[in-house]
Structures are given as C-alpha cells and as structure tokens.
Structure 1
Amino acid sequence: MTVNSILEKLVSFPVLGGESNLEIIHWIKNYIEGFGVKTTLVPNEDNTKASLHCRIGPAVDGGVILSGHTDVVPVKGQPWNTNPFQLIDKGDGNLYARGSCDMKGFLACCLAALPDMVNAQLKLPIYFAFSYDEEIGCLAASTLATHIKKTYSETPRYAIIGEASMLQPVIGHKSIHIIDITIHGSQGHSSRIKQEVSAVHEAARIVMWAEQKMNDLITSGSVDERFNPPHSSLHTGMINGGIAPNIIANKATLSLDIRCIPKNNASQLYQELKDYCKSREQEQRAIFSDFKIEVVENHPIVPPLNTSEDSDAINLIGKITGNYNWDTVAYASEAGHFSNAGFESIICGPGSIKQAHRANEFISKDQLNKGAKMIKNLVKLLETAI
C-alpha cells in the first residue's frame, strides 16, 4: 500500500479522544502482522482501548522508537466543506481529512515504510509505538513507554514522536495540567454579601491568585527564552456561576490551564493551588460552615520535553531530513512521557501544527512525501548503524 492509500484508510476511522480505538488499532495490527512482524497490544483496564508496539530488526540496544497516536479531536460544530473522515484530494496539493495532519500522516509514513524495514538488513531495530487518548491528556503514553521497556530485553535509545513540525526537530515543550474547580458557597439576597459567602467572588479570588502566581514567577526570573511566551502560564479558560444579579451564588465552577516551562514544577504549583483553596475554606467557614472548594485534575500532568541542545537525537533527525535546526513548541505531546521513561526523545513529523484541530484540516502532499522519505532514510541509516 502507498502512503496515500494507508492515510486514506486511517482517517476513515473516526476515533475521538476518549472513545474506543480498537477498530483502528486492530487494522494496524493486522497490517503489520501481514509482514511477519509480531505486535503487542497494551489495553486499558476495561479492554475498550489499546496501544500497540512492535520491533522490526535485531534485538540489540540503541534502536529508534517511532511514536504516534490513533485518536483525533472532534469535528462537531466546525464548518467542514467535506466529509472529515474521508481523505479528499481537491487538486490543490493538499489532502483533507480530520487527522491527516495530526497525526495519522506520520502513522501512514511509518506503515508505508514497513516493507522496506522488513527487507532491510538493519543493524539497529525500529519500534512502532501507537497510542490512544493523546488528545485528552496523553493518557496512554506513560504506560506504553513503560511497557516497551519491560517487554524487550534490549533498550531503545531514541524516540521520535511524529507530531506535525514541518519535519523540523523539536527538543522542548511545556508541561500541561488542566484543573477543574467547584466552589460551594451559601446563597441569599445580594444585600447580605458580607453575611454570606459568594461562590462567584471566591472563584474570582482563585483567578486572581493564578494570575498573580504567574506574574510572581516572571518577576522572580523564572523564564526560558526558548519558548514563546518564555514563562509558565496560568490561564482561566472557563468560569461559570450564579443564577441572577441579585442572588448570592451558591455554586461556581472554573477550569485552569497551567503550562510550565521545564524548570518550573507543575506538581508544586498544583499543591500551592490546593493550599490556597484550603486556606480560603478555613477562613470562610467562619461565615458559612459548609463552604467547600473541590479541586480536581481534569487529567494528570503531561510532563515537559526538555531534550538537551547537544543531544544526538538532533543529529539523528538531521541525517534523515537534512534539518539540524532545532526548535521548541507551545503545545504538549507524548514526548515528555517517553523522555521520562529514559528515551532520548524528539518531535519530528510531517505537516504544520497550524492545520491541527481546525475545520478542513489538511496535510500537503509534499510534506507527506517528505515524511515518507524521512522514514525510508531512517531505514537506510540503520542498515549501517548510526
């Protein structure tokens, strides 16, 4: 199968983050095993989803993991001009479909090169590592990376995560942590604001605490000029509460998006937030004894990527793409999990992140072909070792 025909098949599986991916993962499994390669599935607890990994080549240390995710973001409410789950060629040099860029294009490049991998005399192995639920918090990546370490007697050295980067090596991204907060106050006539505890007012205090925390980090010099913005960000993206202007709100909800540069500790910030909310509880219970603030993780912390500027992974990408100029990105990915598992991790994949998550998402044919060539170049490189 060609890279285009494989991509056409992959995008036809409308697997959203959080949904079962078994149909697409079993199609991939059957395709890979059709070339005589053994695959391993890593299911979730209720067996409704699964990641997949496999090894092509010898069982020796130093191999390369090619990693990507099988899920995509929703299309509902977006003004698509075509069927988002059908690969459309409009003749303008682009291929349109949900996931064409983010990131089934990379998966197609890997799978299209499988015959070359199987027939090559590899000195070092290549591994596929395909996950689920990346789009709702990179939920499977840590387990997948750990399972790879436990399954094989040898140890892979590198992990290439094929997020859309226009085939530029990316060595750094921030962590991301999304936190949902629910405030339970009292209710009553708005004239009694000092005798009651407004959940909306308390939500506002949390918003201001988060903004002040961000500013304090900047003022203290906690910056990293590789990123834009060059500091950790604390942002309130959603807030809701109250039923009327003249009624003190007894409930409010808000969501915080916290993105940390590698030098800042996301877990510590989370603890500081919980400590602040606890202090507000203690103070306001003197007025309303049932006052409560619930702080819940929307999803666990996605760790940052902080690969060294001297990493051999940059040279690896340079040898197979010709591009040695590294960059950093604002989005989070599974690369941080693979890095934490001990693999020298780097992001490099076809397509532009500008196309991700939007209506009429596309990958250019040029980028897709260059991505396929990158994987073929990797195969050739590993025939001689790195």
Structure 2
Amino acid sequence: MSNINTVEDILAKLISFPVLGGESNLSIINWVQDYIESHNVTVHMVPNEAGNKASLHCRIGPAVDGGLILSGHTDVVPVEGQDWDTNPFELVDKGDGKLYGRGSCDMKGFLATCLVMLPEIVKANLIKPIYFAFSYDEEVGCLAAPDLIEHIKKTYAETPKYALIGEPTLMEPIVGQKGIYILETAVNGSAGHSSRIKQEVSAIHESARLILWLENKMNDLIDTGRIDNRFNPPHTSIHIGQFKGGIAPNVIADKASFFWDLRTIPMDDTESIIAEFDAHCRTREQELKAIYPDFKIKTVEDHWPVPPLDTKETDDVVSIIKKISGHSKVNTVAYASEAGQFKNGGFQSVICGPGSIIQAHRANEFITKDELKKGMKMISKLIIEMSHPDFT
C-alpha cells in the first residue's frame, strides 16, 4: 500500500477493478480489506452463500452506542454499448478538473474519500465510533445490504445510531427516496387462428388489459391525493419497460410477458398495490377459464423490493449531515439506494456524497477533483463532530 497515498491514487485503484453488479467482487473487496487492515483496523467480512461475493464492515473508535456508519457499494453498471473516449476502467485525468472512469462518480469516489481519510479517523480521539460498511450488488437491486445490516447488528455489542449513504448528491443531504420493485408478469393463453379471437384467449390481449389496469392504478393513486411534492414526479409511478409475445400476425399468442417497475413514494405501500393487482389477476383467471381452462397469470419478482427512505427533517442525523456537508437545505431523489434498507434496519439515515448523479451510468462518467475535496472535508468535519464530548 506504500504507493497509495492520495484520494486519486485510491480512486484509480478502485476503478481498476471492473466489478459489475451481479459479478464476483472479491478482487476489489479483498483489496479494500487489506488496505483497512494495514491501518490496524479489524475488518468483518460478510460473504454470500456461494462464497464468490462479500460485503465488509469495520469500526474505528470506542465500542459505545451512537456511532455513524459510512456506507457505499463496490459494484458498477456495465459499459458495453457505450461510447467511451477512454478506457472505462482506468482513471483518466484530462486536465479539465475532472477524473474519468466507470464508478468515479457512482460511487467509488465516495469510497476513496472514506479510505484516504482512514488514517485521520484512526488517529482521532473519537467519542463515538465511525463505521465503514461496503456492499456488493447494489446496482442490480440492493441485494447485499440486508445481510450486511444484520451482520453489523449482530457483530457489535454497541448499537450504531446513524448511517450516511454516500451516493452522489453534490454533497446535498437527501432525506427521501422512492422505493422500487421490478416484476415480471407472464400470461398463458391459448394458441389458434387469428380469426378465432373470440373463441380463444390471446395472451397478448390479456397482457394489454393488465398493463392498462396498472396504468389506471397509477392514475387512481394520483386522483385520490396520494401526492408527495418533495419528489419529481410527486406520485408513485408504474412503468412497463419490456414486452414480448406472439409468433406471427395471424396466430393468436398463447404466451406473453412483460416487465414492469413500481416506484413508490413513502406514503404508499408496495405490498398492498401488488396484492390488489394479484387479486385482479385471480379474478381474470376465473372469468377466462370458461373459455380456456389452462389460462393463467403469474407474476414473479425480478429482484426483491427496495424500500423507500423517509427521514424526518427533525431527526438528529439531518442536523449532523447539514453541518458536516455545508448544505443547510435537504432534498429528495427518485432513484433507489440502500438508504431505505439502513433506515428499516434501525439507523437514522441520510444520502449525501460527492459527485453528481447526472454523471452516473453514462459514457465518460466523471467526478470533479473539487467534489472529492468536498467529500474529504465532510469526513474531516465528521471526525471533529464525533470527537466532541457534546456529540448527539
């Protein structure tokens, strides 16, 4: 680790690991483990069942209640099909104040600021502990966070109170996010000649009716006042992103399916919306079995639901993050992150980190050097706050 001295050195190393969501992250997580342990900090690994992926967490400071977790993920989204000017997995400085590379913004920039500040955290006379919690598979559904959170709660005798999820927000504290649930609905109808459309059950026609039901459900939520103006759009959204079915224009489709995502504002309940849709599907099955006894509608999750975040502005964590981030106003986002999972795990949670979400997931992703400095300054201020006898 002797040649790893600056935040740019660390960011370059992190970006050099081309770990996509869903793939093994052992290369990057083992490097991070070695780096942390080189500073005499004990690291706890949280492997998946297959043993090809792992999250990690560690504590720096005293074993007392009331600490704060710095949380981030190690995986990134694919680069295939994107028009990159440089090697995505090599940190490139073009001299324009920006550092280019996949994950530079989302969210290896934040990880780099945590790691480069580790020596300062270790040296500090902390009154309350600071924890690192780094996960895998965030980009494919926030899959690892629940196990990581439970492992943290079981490992330490003390209880952390706060969590800062360092997604790129331009250092603006984010107190709300929408939840997300992605599902696939498959319809099994009867094949036949297109002239017999009234005597058969078209899987495509029935899928279209289900899609219309979902759109109407979204509109009903809006019309009944299910509005949260902190978000844009200010309501729960239901969107169908993929559809497949049919083999020819003159053949009634016996099979069709569609993928859809449900993005809920905090006041709406994902489970109740799914239950209502499922009840409608069971009703349609009973109605159409008279025409085709094997008619069936089946909905399965593409990945499990990610809960929304709804942190009260009066929660202690908000004033803490406002103070260390330098931003006095809070905001919300429509994208999902692990923040809602940490909140449900019992930690007051806020999203705040360097970089802009506008740069995430696109070709020529970058983070500015100035944003990295701001991220380091935030952690420096956190160290001061958590070294103060009057820390909340």
Q: 2: distance between equivalents of 1:97 and 1:225? A: 35
User: Which of 221, 229, 233 is 2:233 aligned to?
Assistant: 229
Q: Aligned with 1:227: secondary structure?
A: coil
CA-atom RMSD, angstroms? 0.8
TM-score (structure 2 length as normaliser):
0.97
Unaligned runs of 5+ in 2: none
* One-letter amino acid of the counterpart of residue 170, structure 2: M
Q: Aligned pair 1:219/2:228, yes or no?
A: no
Moved more, 23-32 or 318-327: 318-327
What is the CA-CA distance between 1:251 and the residue it aligns to?
1.0
Which of 39, 45, 64 aligns to 1:41? It is 45
Output aligned runs, 1:129-208, within 5 Å: 129-208=133-212
Q: Quick one: distance in 2 between partners of 1:57 and 1:309? A: 27
Q: Which residue identity is paired with 2:161?
A: R
1:209 corresponding residue in structure 2: 213
Q: Is the 8 A contact 1:62 1:157 kept in 2?
A: yes
Match of 2:90 among 86, 90, 103: 86
C-alpha distance after superposition, 1:160-215 (max 9, x if no partner): 00000000000001110000111111111111000111111011011101000001
Aligned-pair distance for 1:288? 1.0
In 1: Cα distance, 2:85 partner to 2:280 partner: 47
| CA distance in structure 2 between the aligned counterparts of 1:163 and 1:332, rounded to whole angstroms | 10
Q: Which amino acid aligns with 1:86?
A: E
Partners in 1 of 2:171 and 2:193 — Cα distance?
Answer: 60
Q: Is the 8 A contact 1:200 1:242 kept in 2?
A: yes
Q: Helix, strand or coil: the match of 1:136?
A: coil
Is 1:314–1:324's contact at 8 Å kept on the other side of the alignment? no
One of 275, 278, 284 as aligned partner of 1:271: 275
* CA-CA distance at 1:285 after TM superposition: 1.3
> What corresponds to 2:242 in structure 1?
238
Indicate the SS of the match to 1:259. strand
Counterpart of 1:53 in structure 2 is 57
Aligned residue for 1:258? Answer: 262
For the residues of structure 2 that align with 1:356 and 1:267, how far apart are their CA atoms?
30
Measured in 1, the distance between the counterparts of 2:337 and 2:217 equals: 25
- Do the aligned partners of 2:173 and 2:325 also contact (CA within 8 Å) in 1? no
- Rounded Cα–Cα distance in structure 1 between residues aligned with 2:296 and 2:85: 47
Aligned residue identity for 1:141: A
Query: Aligned equivalents of 2:51 and 2:278: distance in 1?
Result: 34
Q: Secondary structure at the match of 1:78?
A: coil
Post-superposition offset of 1:312? 1.5
Give the one of 72, 76, 80 matched to 1:72.
Answer: 76
**1:24 is matched with which residue?**
28
SS at the partner of 1:5? helix
**Contact 2:167 2:351 survives alignment (8 Å):** yes
Provide the rounded CA distance (Å) in 1 between the counterparts of 2:189 and 2:100. Answer: 49
* Structure 2 residue 333 is the aligned partner of structure 1 residue 332: no
Matches of 2:22 and 2:277, distance apart in 1: 27
CA distance in structure 2 between the partners assigned to 1:280 and 1:82 by the alignment? 53
Q: Would the aligned equivalents of 2:99 and 2:368 in 1 still touch at CA under 8 Å?
A: yes
Deviation at 1:282, TM superposition (A): 1.5
Paired residues, number: 386
Asked whether the 8 Å contact 1:226–1:328 carries over to 2, the reply is: yes
Tell me, what secondary structure is at the counterpart of 1:18? Answer: coil
Work out the percentage of aligned pairs sharing the same amino acid: 62
Q: Which residue does 1:358 correspond to in 2?
A: 362
For residues 251-278 of structure 1, what are the alpha-carbon distances to aligned partners after superposition, in whole Å with 9 as ceiling and x for unaligned? 1110111011111000111111222222
Match of 2:6 in 1: 2
* Structure 2 contact 82–362 (Cα < 8 Å) conserved: yes
2:305 counterpart residue number: 301
Quote the Cα distance in structure 2 between the aligned partners of 1:197 and 1:318.
58
Deviates more, 1:289-298 or 1:208-217: 289-298
Q: Which runs of 5 or more residues in structure 1 are unaligned?
A: none
Distance in 1 between residues matched to 2:285 and 2:369, nearest whole Å: 56
Letter in 2 for 1:204: A
Structure 2 Cα separation of the partners of residues 273 and 72 of structure 1: 33
Q: How does 1:340-355 map to 2 (within 5 A)?
A: 340-355=344-359
The separation in 1 between residues aligned to 2:246 and 2:68, in whole angstroms, is: 53
**Residue pair 1:78, 1:358 contacting (<8 A) in 2 also:** yes
2:139 is paired with a residue whose SS is: helix
